[in-house]
Structure 1
Amino acid sequence: MEEASGMVVDASVQGGALTTDERTAIAAAVNVVLYRCQVERTTGKMKAAIRARRKVTALPSSGEGLDLGAVSDAVHQVCYVMGSGAFPRATPRWWMKRRMGGTWEDLRQCDDAPNEYFRDKLRMSPRVFCEIAETLSPYLQRRVTFYRVPLQPDHIVAYALYRWVSGETYDSGMCSFSIGRASGITTVRDVTAALLAAYPDKLSWPTGLQKAVVLCPFADKGFPNYHGCIDCTHIYVDKPANANGEDYCDQKRRFSVQAQVVVDMNLRVLDVFVGYPGSVHDMRMLHLSSLWERAESGQLFTGPHVMLSFIVRTNGYLLGDNGYPQSEWIVVPYGGLAQHPTEARFDNKQKTARGAVERVFGRLKGMWRLFLRTHKCNMDMLPQQFIAVCILHNILIDAGIPFDNNLLWEVGPDGVRRRVDLGMHAPLRTVCMESSTGDALILRDALAERMGAQ
């Protein structure tokens, strides 16, 4: 072309040859054109890839190009594999069983685990545990899902018992039942509800032959028609949230919740009323409970009456300390410094008989140590949990499970071994007897006279 136009790109040829600047400009223009072509080609490939991806995504919804039957079979196979545990969830739900060993694996082997080991962890024999788990099983069944195998009822019961026995939270590294704090709260709540539903009559007053067996021994000791003892204990808790801390401070300046309990001479719990702050007086607790209403209306003691001296008739009564006033159904000590020998004898025997309630609190809190120490708890769940452990207490009493008195002793921070604090506070002041009726005072005098005659 250069020859045809008479121009030669050679420095030796004179005439219309391109200069160096012109050739540089032409080269730059050619480079720009090539770069734009390359960019457009790359953009076209990207757009084509995006369109292809959109078509693939839209195919399952329209059913084009896919065998829906094959997809359905694949989904079923994946669900089966997940259900068998091959693809476990990273964070299983609270009721799903984790693979673990340690304490539970040892306890589950009932034939190999010794009774002492079982009682140390759950405070009962393998036979009693199996009976409780079987009774609670209908209330604790879990639905099987495709994620993991759900916890079995006996495993759930063991979690709750271990929590009440040890007082440890489930997220503690020392607890071999670790399943997480939230999961532990839910498990304890379910077992609590199951115990209340499965054993509605476990906290009841004796009737018939059982009542005769309970009342007869104390009639020989000077307390005819005696049904049991009444007293209160403090359950120590952390400062409740969204509540006035002063209301929950007891006379020892500790945060606590009051629990009123009635027990018989066989150490069985007959009645429980719990939930009011620790600053509430024992007498106030009595007036707030249904026990007061039933006793005052004549529905509590309905058995045959017993005639005493001074023509006193009694259908039944409880023994209490000086935190209660003398009434026709609560007998309290005389108290005072200068006592008549008859009064002193009565007070000594009354105190001995009333020792049953202290033994119950010792056994109850010694076994279920969560309620012995200060602990953080849900204030709405605490009353139900305490009633649940009272039901367990009666179950173990009926089953003849012994109690280890060493549980009532512990070593303090100073290294001194001392008796545990059962939360039984002596009344700050004696309740005024001016509200007591003449019949109530005569009942105590008649009982004291009977003891003197014996």
Structure 2
Amino acid sequence: MAMAVTAVVVNTMGDMESWSRDMLLRLRQRRALLQNVAEAPDCAATCEAIVQFCVALSSGVFPRQTPRWWIRQWTRGTWEDLQLRDDVTDEYFRQNLRMSTAMFNQIVAACAAYMEKKVTHYRMPLPVEQLIAFALYRWASGETYESGTSAFGIGRATGLQAVHDVTSALLQAYPDAIMWPVGRRRVQILRAFREKGFPNCFGAIDCTHIYIDKPAGAPSENYYDRKQKFSVQAQVVVDLDLRILDVHVGYPGSVHDVRVLHNSLLFRRAESGELFDATPKNLPHGFVTRGYLLGDNGYPVACPWIVHPYGGINQDADEERFDTRQKVARGCVERAFGRLKCMWRLFLRTHKTNRETLPQQFVDVCTLHNILLDVGIDFDENLLWEVNANGVRRRVDLGIVGNDARGRGRCANVEGKLLGDALRDRLALM
């Protein structure tokens, strides 16, 4: 077999015109020696069979069998694995980009126009698919730029620019993915909350902390939250289907939920009467409501359109029933955080980030969250669990830091208190 391979190499090298005269002479001598050895009947037959077999393989006569999921051939990185078109590719897309191949192609098509204008700014021409795949992989895996760019065969500077461009492209391609419900969608949301015992409820509100490394160029104490970590606040409103209706992100982690709310566009729109415009609903004691949100005890009664639990230990039966039903309905926001941050794990772990682009990136993953819900992408509940350094399995930290009103002067807003009491008494009559 070794002689046959040598013969093939010698014949190939002998055809090259660039070799020197001495080299060609030595090749002729080796060829003559091989010819004498190959004249033996057994040897000639064996060599001929091996040579023909090698030629057949190289010409594609014997097709390579498609690799199965348990036998993936080694390639030069994640990007090359994603380009393979075999029976494992779609599952590989789901593991690394959180979506199917078809969904990825739709996103590429939606972002293509914007991205094609940007690829000319890169040092070397790169396909739009590769740039978008890298940004999705970065958000999904939470890997550093160094390891992520290595898996995609690009430089760190290219990776940084790719994430920036894809962030802008997604915001332009899907401007209505996150919006306040209207039309049929609003009717479905109001009906779902009414069945939970909360008529004219539009959603649930809460904040989550996005953990970051100690920020540079800013007072670090502002970003130091109650869990002794550096973080940025993200306020989100969701419905019972876990769809995100509104998002406001960017405030330092030490800021209270109420302050984040008061400085958000959601607050200004709600106070102007733009958001809660459902058909008036009559409640006990003559109270009428056109809409509100469910929140935790971090939101005091000062806001008349956020209903929070009574809390405390000296509750009567009606208050206890109300708190239980309110907590169950409000649980949708925690489940939404679980799906969102566990699928896009960059925002689950502490990581280095650009504070100027972090809000846009988080809005992007919220946009992807809604898109994947619409197309029915399943969520693996195992992502909610992890094994710590001691080998103990526990739920991941979703960054939901409970804020209470102790020491903050709970404001006795009459309208907000009447709304909570009216809903409590309505539940007692059901």
Contact 2:149 2:159 in 1 (8 A): no
> Contact between 2:131 and 2:162, CA under 8 Å: does it hold in 1?
yes
Q: Aligned ranges for residues 212-223 of structure 1 at < 5 Å?
A: 212-223=187-198
Q: Deviations over 1:197-233 (max 9, x none)?
A: 1111111011111111111122122100111010000
User: Once the 2 structures are TM-superposed, how far is the Cα of residue 112 of structure 1 from its aligned partner?
Assistant: 3.7
Matches within 5 A, 1:178-193: 178-193=153-168
Select which of 167, 171, 193 maps to 2:146: 171
Query: TM-score, length-normalised on structure 2?
Result: 0.79
2:183 corresponds in structure 1 to 208
Counterpart position of 2:427? 451
Distance 1:166 1:143, change over 3 A: closer
Do the aligned partners of 1:325 and 1:433 also contact (CA within 8 Å) in 2? Answer: no
CA spacing shift, 1:144–1:189, aligned 2, 3 Å: closer
Q: State the alpha-carbon separation in 2 of the partners of residues 231 and 143 from structure 1.
A: 36
In structure 2, relative to structure 1, the CA distance for the partners of 1:232 and 1:143 (3 Å cut) is closer
Deviation string, structure 1 residues 234-279 (Cα, Å, up to 9, x no partner): 0000011011111110011110001111111110111111111100
Structure 1 segments, 4+ long, off by >6 Å, are none
> 1:126 Cα shift?
0.9
Q: Which amino acid aligns with 2:307?
A: V
Question: Residue 449 and residue 173 in structure 1: after superposition, are their counterparts in 2 closer, same or farther (change >3 A)?
Answer: closer
What's the counterpart of residue 210 of structure 2?
A: 235
Q: Which residue of 2 aligns with 1:348?
A: 324
TM-score (norm 1): 0.75
Name the residue aligned to 1:361: 337
How far has the Cα of 1:101 moved from its partner? 3.4
Deviations 1:58-98 (A, max 9, x none): xxxxxxxxxxxxxxxxxxxxxxxxxxxxxxxxxxxxxxxxx
Q: What is the root-mean-square deviation of aligned Cα atoms in Å?
A: 2.1
2:360 — aligned with what?
A: 384
- Provide the rounded CA distance (Å) in 2 between the counterparts of 1:271 and 1:212: 17
Question: Cα distance, 1:431 vs. partner?
Answer: 7.7
User: Structure 1 vs Structure 2: percent identity of aligned residues?
Assistant: 57
Q: Distance in 2 between matches of 1:110 and 1:206?
A: 39
Aligned to 2:17: none
**Residue 232 of structure 1 aligns to a residue in which SS?**
strand
Deviates most, 202-211 or 428-437: 428-437
Counterpart for residue 44 of structure 2? none
Secondary structure of the 2:145 match is coil
Cα 1:110/1:128, change in 2 over 3 Å: farther
Q: CA deviation at 1:439?
A: 1.9
Give me the whole-angstrom Cα distance separating, in 2, the residues matched to 1:312 and 1:299: 20
- C-alpha contact 1:170 1:177 (8 A) present in aligned 2: no
Alpha carbons of structure 1 residues 127 and 431: separation in structure 2 relative to 1, 3 Å: farther
In 2, the alpha carbon distance for the partners of 1:439 and 1:165 equals 43
Matched, 1:424 2:400: yes
User: Distance between the aligned counterparts of 2:158 and 2:374, measured in 1?
Assistant: 31
Paired residues for 1:137-148 under 5 Å: 137-142=112-117
Counterpart of 1:60?
none
Equivalences for 1:1-20 in 2 at 5 Å? none
Q: Deviations over 1:91-126 (max 9, x none)?
A: xxxxxxxxx833222222345434322100100111
Relative distance call for 1:308 and 1:140 in structure 2 (3 A) is same
Q: Which runs of 5+ in 1 are unaligned?
A: 1-99
> Match for 1:299 among 259, 274, 295?
274
Work out whether 1:267 is the aligned partner of 2:235.
no
Aligned pair partner of 1:395 in 330, 355, 371: 371
1:393–1:110 Cα change, 3 Å: farther
- Following the alignment from structure 1 to structure 2, what is the Cα–Cα distance between the partners of residues 377 and 166? 15
Q: CA deviation at 1:184?
A: 1.1
Aligned-residue offset at 1:452: 1.0
Tell me what 2:129 maps to: 154
Greater alpha carbon shift after TM alignment, 173-182 vs 129-138: 173-182
Shift in Å, 1:290: 1.0
The answer for unaligned runs of 5 or more in structure 2 is 1-74
Q: 3-state DSSP class of the match of 2:259?
A: helix
Higher-Rg structure is: 1
Partner residue of 1:251 out of 220, 223, 226: 226
